[in-house]
Structure 1
Amino acid sequence: MVFLYLCPMEKEHQIFGIRAILEAIDAGAAIDKVFVQKEASGDLMKKLLAALKRNNVNHAFVPIEKLNRLTPNNHQGAVATISPIAFYDLDILLEELNSANKTPLLLILDQISDARNFGAIIRTAECTGVHGIIISKSGAAPVNGDTVKTSAGAVFNMPICKVEHIKDAIFTLQASGIKTVAATEKTDQLLYDVSFSEPVAIIMGSEDRGINPSVLKIVDEKAKLPMFGNIGSLNVSVACGAFLYEAVRQRQ
């Protein structure tokens, strides 16, 4: 039996206990992340670690104090957070957009790890008519209570696709005739000189490192925002909003 614990602070679904988490993995539950106690041992823990690796489940090793803060229950060295939404398959999303004769406007988030930034981006994306958001299975911010709150509930209206690798998703989009545009300061081209009226996916990078260099090598175009102040960068959710509203302006 799988036990769910509803965290009173974040209204976030959790699974605690190694056997319960193993059952959830076998059942195909939408697990966002598993927190595993550092230096924990035992046959059952080895089985859990093998299942996490085999199913590419996002996980982290943490001190027991972290697990004790996550749940007052007997966690047995492992706590999993469960997404409140069901994730989309990228190929199915593209098929639906094609069937509806829509001009795709997509977002790719490369290793954005802050749940509040993620929620703010989802909210702006929903307001600007984005058809879907693509994130990686590992390293991405979880869909948790903070995400839901900062998105103002928009997370329930936005298709979100989890993929194994961002680069593979980009290749899939390009093969489907969707242009990929990276938001990066490593270019001389401003976003106002890029066409967003055609099928396009905008790529935003992580809060601290930006877009992965290997991703930058394969995108179709790069664009940046003009900056006039002493601070050389914007919060990623603010920058994302500027790119999306330029796309809205061009599409109207």
Structure 2
Amino acid sequence: MQEQTQIFGIRAVIEAIHAGETIDKIFLQKGLKGDLFSELETLLRQHAITSSYVPVEKLNRLTNKNHQGVVAQISPVEFHDMESLVLRIIESGKTPLFLLLDQLSDVRNFGAIIRTAECTGVDGIIIQKKGGAPVNGDTIKTSAGAVFKVPICKVDHIKDAVFYMQASGIKVIAATEKTNNLLYDISFKEPCAIIMGSEDRGINPSILKVVDDKAKLPLLGDIESLNVSVACGAFLYEAVRQRL
């Protein structure tokens, strides 16, 4: 199983970007200057690669090699093009089932969701380029290898994915407590995409305004929310139940 790989050094990272490597995240040393570093920063903006400016101590913890103030993490999976994937699934004649994750941040939740998605026949998972959990060793381990079986797509904004799904005849359903509709009141038999929100903030309000349907799980205890991966499992298996 391929684990996440690190690249360090400014020139090595620049060459990796030019070579088309799938870079998940880059850590840059705060206060670093120079022409080569400026070239790298320009490349990161052009390719919309997520980066963080961190103290040198953080970089030293990531690697004991001569990192020159730059450490990049290469994703162990190849990401798919969302539009091509949606078109391929529609043309295959099956009823599409997609999963959109709005800035889910915990890698173990992400891994657990990917595992459930594989078990429930999800056709693809769409995540945002910035702000979400990376696909790293923890994700792979928690997903039990499912990360290599379910296509994952990255988009600039989840709202772009919502609009594309809708334009493709796919109903978008938000899993949110901000509704009176229970999960069991919604039809999942037609082509649909389910959106799950982040652990702390849920689904972005601007996204909730444009979805086709909203649904919540009945909570019978005192705690007001479920773990996002558990809630996602309940939604996906309701879709499976209806489609069987």
Coarse TM-score class (shorter-chain normalised): over 0.9
1:191-232 deviation line (CA, Å, top 9, x unaligned): 100000110000000011110111111100111011111111
Give the conservation status (yes or no) of the 8 Å contact 2:22–2:78.
Answer: yes
94-103 or 104-113: which moved more? 94-103
**1:125 corresponds to which of 77, 93, 117:** 117
Question: What SS does the aligned partner of 2:240 have?
Answer: helix
Q: Which amino acid aligns with 2:113?
A: I
Gaps spanning 5+ residues in structure 2: where?
none
Instruction: Give the structure 1 partner of residue 102 of structure 2.
Output: 110
Instruction: Give the structure 2 partner of residue 60 of structure 1.
Output: 52
Instruction: Give the structure 1 partner of residue 78 of structure 2.
Output: 86
User: Superposition pairs for residues 140-219 of structure 1, below 5 Å?
Assistant: 140-219=132-211
Instruction: Give the structure 1 partner of residue 127 of structure 2.
Output: 135
Q: CA deviation at 1:11?
A: 3.7
Instruction: Give the structure 2 partner of residue 235 of structure 1.
Output: 227
Q: CA deviation at 1:45?
A: 1.4
CA distance in 2, matches of 1:86, 1:105: 20
CA distance in 2, matches of 1:39, 1:120: 37
Question: What SS does the aligned partner of 1:247 have?
Answer: helix
Give the total of aligned pairs.
Answer: 243
CA distance in 2, matches of 1:12, 1:29: 12
Q: CA deviation at 1:26?
A: 1.4
CA distance in 2, matches of 1:234, 1:28: 39
Residue identity over aligned pairs, in percent, reads: 68
Q: Which amino acid aligns with 1:71?
A: T
Q: Which amino acid aligns with 1:110?
A: D
1:29 aligns to 2:21 (yes or no): yes
Structure 1 runs of 4+ with >6 Å offset = none
Instruction: Give the structure 1 partner of residue 236 of structure 2.
Output: 244
CA distance in 2, matches of 1:62, 1:102: 46
Gaps spanning 5+ residues in structure 1: where?
1-9
1:37-86 deviation line (CA, Å, top 9, x unaligned): 11222222121111111211011111111111111111111111111111
Question: What SS does the aligned partner of 1:33 have?
Answer: strand
**2:43 corresponds to which of 32, 38, 51:** 51
CA distance in 2, matches of 1:15, 1:196: 43
CA RMSD of aligned residues (A): 1.1
Question: What SS does the aligned partner of 2:237 have?
Answer: helix
Question: What SS does the aligned partner of 1:35 have?
Answer: strand
Length-normalised TM-score, structure 2: 0.97
